[in-house]
Structure 1
Amino acid sequence: MSGTTAPGTAPGTAPGIDAPTALRLAVLAGAAFVYVTFEVFPVGLIRDIAGDLDVTAARVGLLISGYAVVAALVTVPTVALAARVPRRTALVVSLGVLVVAEVLAAASTGFAMMAVSRVAAALTHGVLWSLIAPAAAALVPREHVGTATAAVFGGASLAAIVGSPGTTLIGELIGWRATALVLAAATVAVTYALLWALRPRGTGPAAREDGAGAGRAAGERIDWPAVLTLCGVAVVLVTAHFLSYTYFAVIVTEVTGTPGSVVALLAVFGLAGAAGTYLIGRHNDRAPQRAATVTMAAFAAGAGLLALAFVPAPRVVQYTVAGIAVAVWGGAFAAAGPVFQTAVMRLAAGDADRASSVYVTGFQVGIAGGSALGAALLGRSAIWLPVASVVLGVVVLAVVLVRRPVPALS
């Protein structure tokens, strides 16, 4: 992206967003950070958790798909219930439930208790993700909605940079249970910050943020066929991603021959994701269809390179190919989040919360499907995971090019 960030703005934000608003967006990004970090908590520690709970790595992987199934089932009804209270209240309650889930994970004495902690977090996952992007959009002028959405999704990218490799590293030092408690403490801090960030401010857009059912305008209708088409495309993309990402540690260990490379490549994945999220911000506001095409092409290319990393070659070559693959893959998937979420809100007209709940449900279906399919393919050979991701990624790219489901700016 050309140009520099204006003074007083956070990374990923554009000139015209003042410093107080940028700080509020950063807090919303923090909420995304802690939720995503716990959602993918088992990824880097999958072997440690499996050994401690005396189950297989594939079974621990199902903790991610199970989480997604629960979130998919409850998102629409819980978001409908949350519409009766201010967004601020709904988001704070969601984070409170997350704290309980993290403490339960730390106290788990067996696989069943760990599963209960995942279910607890999944119950309010959809509420947070359905409301956080509309909450960010309500803080900024319309021409900066794509940028604000990218800024908030930067929290998810930060989870990939710091959260996932960080919890993996900390888990290796103090154990995965103590790491879950560290994450709980971080969530408590974010919750208090959110109480400040979303307090009513005057009569501007931010003041509407605290209203129950905020974001709905009379007379505006959701373009449901377009929304559902876009959600269907997103389901396939997310399936392609989590098919391999759930078993990231297994894939990387098999390619590089050492578990120690998992933390390093998780960090590469996250850094690339942050770059992708930052770069997509303004382009998503200016040329959303082109942004979607580029990100989908990059995703397919990254997954393809990861499959090539399995080809026998000198270890340094495999390391290099794996590093490039992870960077391209991570950057593309992180950029895809703001592109699709912003598109859903544009198609939703005045009811972004409800349309977002359907999108989040589809996202969780993709996570569950990808993790479950990955578990099945893992029994054959780890190389089948990125190969399947490539096939599905190419399908998504073809649909984006032919159907053009991402709406142009009006």
Structure 2
Amino acid sequence: MPLALLALAVGAFGIGTTEFVMMGLLPDVAADLGTSIPSAGHLVSAYALGVVVGAPLLAAATARMPRRRVLIWLMALFVAGNALSALAPDHTWLLAARFLSGLPHGAFFGVGAVVAADLVTPDRKARSVSLMFLGLTLANVVGVPMATLMGQHFGWRTTFLAVSATGLAAIASLALLIPAADSPAAPRTGLRGELTALRSLPVWLALGTTVAGFGALFAAYSYIAPMLTGAAGYGESTVTLLLALFGVGATAGNLLGGCLADHSLRATLFGGLASLTVVLTLFPLLMRTQATAAVAVVLLGVAAFVTGSPLQLMVMEKAASAPSLASSANQAAFNLANAGGAWIGGLALAAGLGATSPALAGAALAALGIGVAALAHAVDRRADRTPGRVVAGRVPQEAEALEAR
């Protein structure tokens, strides 16, 4: 695999660290700024809002720029946001800085996925995308725990300065390793072409699959701590280690999904969603003992992230003539899944259905994801049988190749 993927992974590592580290630092931030923990929790929402807003807007605004330059400017914005977070004098300033930090997130992963796919031959695209996302999953295993410990011992501001330094390292890596010129085969249609591709029904069905599939994950994962303590009987001090196990599972699932999707993208997607449905359905049973609960946490990470690179690649292929905006919109869909899944899981808990009920709500969302993916497949088959019709920017030969998968 090209060394340039390392630069993308470094950027993904920094972004993944800053996205999730705030959860572990909320008590420290709240105490330092003189606000309540619920109010400090808005800092998580501010980042997510930045992702949702920034993903399509920044991808659209940079549609005609060389992609290496786009990635460098996005990472520079990321560095600025985290540096301002470290210098925040009050809660309002930090809210604004967290929103700014989230703006480049979706566009970086969206444009980065397009670059990663262009760096390799068609039969290795999914693996290439999964290697970029490896930085994100490793952030959950290594980056977030280390950054949390750093913040707890040296102050939360130190954490954001360290994340800014990671961003600077990513900028240097991008400048050195990413080709200056885009691939000659890379489509560049400008803003109008990008917006036209985003109006495609297959693109929206792919985005809908992402929302449902990862909504299933976050319906359960958002409440994994009370499940582990209330149902499996773990102590609160052990939860951090178990969450690291989730990161290990997510890393393995991400790499596995990339390898499998290069052989059969659609089969990998359906298999991953089916596996996620089964794992979440079995959660109430697996949470009865500590040993099986630990296994369940690992399996949840594997099953959910097997679908990560296939979903990203599917969106890009549905908008093959103008993939940057659609690819970035998929990152916004991930964050909508985060918010929506947590809300649905919370409804199950509020209804008094038990500590493991969010997992069952997640299973229903995963099943919905299978349904949306099946509808997308049916739309593709119907379109491919329509003479002379080009679907979502694909030429007929490309559609036939995808159908053969």
Question: TM-score range with shorter-chain normalisation?
Answer: 0.7 to 0.9
Q: Is it true that 1:341 corresponds to 2:312 in the alignment?
A: yes
Measure how far apart 1:396 and its partner are: 1.8
- Letter in structure 1 aligned against 2:13: F
Indicate if the aligned counterparts of 1:288 and 1:408 stay in contact, CA closer than 8 A: no
Q: Which amino acid aligns with 2:363?
A: V
Report 1:250-269 matches (<5 A): 251-254=227-230, 255-269=232-246
Shift of residue 353, structure 1, vs aligned partner: 0.8
For 1:355, the equivalent position in structure 2 comes to: 326
1:128 aligned residue: 108
- Partner amino acid, structure 2, of 1:389: G
* SS of alignment partner, residue 243 of structure 1: helix
Deviations 1:114-151 (CA, angstroms, capped at 9, x unpaired)? 32222001222222122010011111122221121111
The answer to whether residue 244 in structure 2 is matched with residue 271 in structure 1 is no
| CA positional deviation for 1:342 | 0.8
Indicate conservation of the 8 Å contact 1:227/1:348, yes or no.
Answer: yes
**Offset, 1:352:** 1.1
* Cα distance in 1 for residues equivalent to 2:332 and 2:40: 22
Q: Retained in 1: the 8 A contact 2:197–2:326?
A: no
- Pick the aligned partner of 1:65 from 39, 45, 48: 45
Corresponding position of 1:289: 266
The question of 1:330 aligning with 2:306 is answered no
Q: Does 1:177 align with 2:157?
A: yes
AA paired with 2:56? V
CA deviation profile, 1:255-314 (whole Å, cap 9, x unmatched): 544332233112211111111112122210111122112211222333344444655xxx
Measured at CA, do residues 78 and 322 of structure 1 come closer, stay the same or move farther in structure 2, by a change above 3 Å?
same
Secondary structure of the residue that 1:260 maps to in structure 2?
Answer: helix
Correspondent of 1:230 among 191, 194, 206: 206
Distance in 1 (alpha carbons) for counterparts of 2:123 and 2:222 = 36
Query: Counterpart of 1:192?
Result: 172
Structure 1: unaligned runs, 5 residues or longer: 1-16, 312-316
Q: Equivalent residues in 2 for 1:195-210 (5 A)?
A: 195-200=175-180, 206=183
Per the alignment, do residues 73 and 330 of structure 1 end up closer, same or farther by CA in structure 2, a change over 3 Å counting?
A: same
In structure 2, distance between residues paired with 1:348 and 1:403: 14
After superposition, the Cα gap between the structure-2 partners of 1:47 and 1:41, relative to the gap in structure 1 and judged at 3 Å, is same
**How far did 1:327 drift?**
0.6
Q: 1:337-396 deviations in whole A, cap 9, x for unaligned?
A: 101011111111221112213323322322232345556666677544333223222322
Confirm or deny that 1:303 pairs with 2:280: yes
Q: 1:392 aligns with which of 344, 347, 365?
A: 365
**RMSD of aligned residue pairs (Cα, Å):** 3.3
Q: For the structure 1 residues 52 and 249, does the alpha-carbon distance in structure 2 shift closer, same or farther, using more than 3 Å as the test?
A: farther
The percentage of counterpart residues that share the same residue type is 27
SS of residue matched to 1:40: helix
* Residue in structure 2 matched with residue 143 of structure 1 by the alignment: 123
In the superposition, the TM-score normalised over structure 2's length comes to: 0.81
C-alpha distance 101-173 of structure 1, shift in aligned 2 (>3 A): same
CA distance in 2 between partners of 1:86 and 1:168 (Å): 36
Aligned partners of 2:88 and 2:282: how far apart in 1?
38
Aligned partner of 1:368 in structure 2 is 339
Per the normalisation by structure 1, the TM-score is: 0.80
Displacement of 1:72 after TM fit?
Answer: 1.8
- Alpha-carbon shift at residue 63 of structure 1 (Å): 3.2
The answer for unaligned runs of 5 or more in structure 2 is 381-401
Q: Which is helix-richer, 1 or 2?
A: 2
C-alpha separation in 2, matches of 1:53 and 1:371: 27
- Contact 2:209–2:370 under 8 Å retained in 1: no
Which stretch of structure 1 is more off in the superposition, 396-405 or 153-162?
A: 396-405
Q: Deviations over 1:164-213 (max 9, x none)?
A: 23323333433433222222211211111111112337xxx65777x976
CA contact (8 A) 1:295 1:333 kept: yes
Q: Which residue of structure 2 aligns with residue 113 of structure 1?
A: 93
Q: Letter of the 1:358 partner, please give it.
A: A
| Corresponding residue number in structure 1 for 2:384 | none
Other structure's SS at 2:235 match: coil
CA distance in 1, matches of 2:294, 2:97: 33
Change (3 A) 1:47 1:265: farther
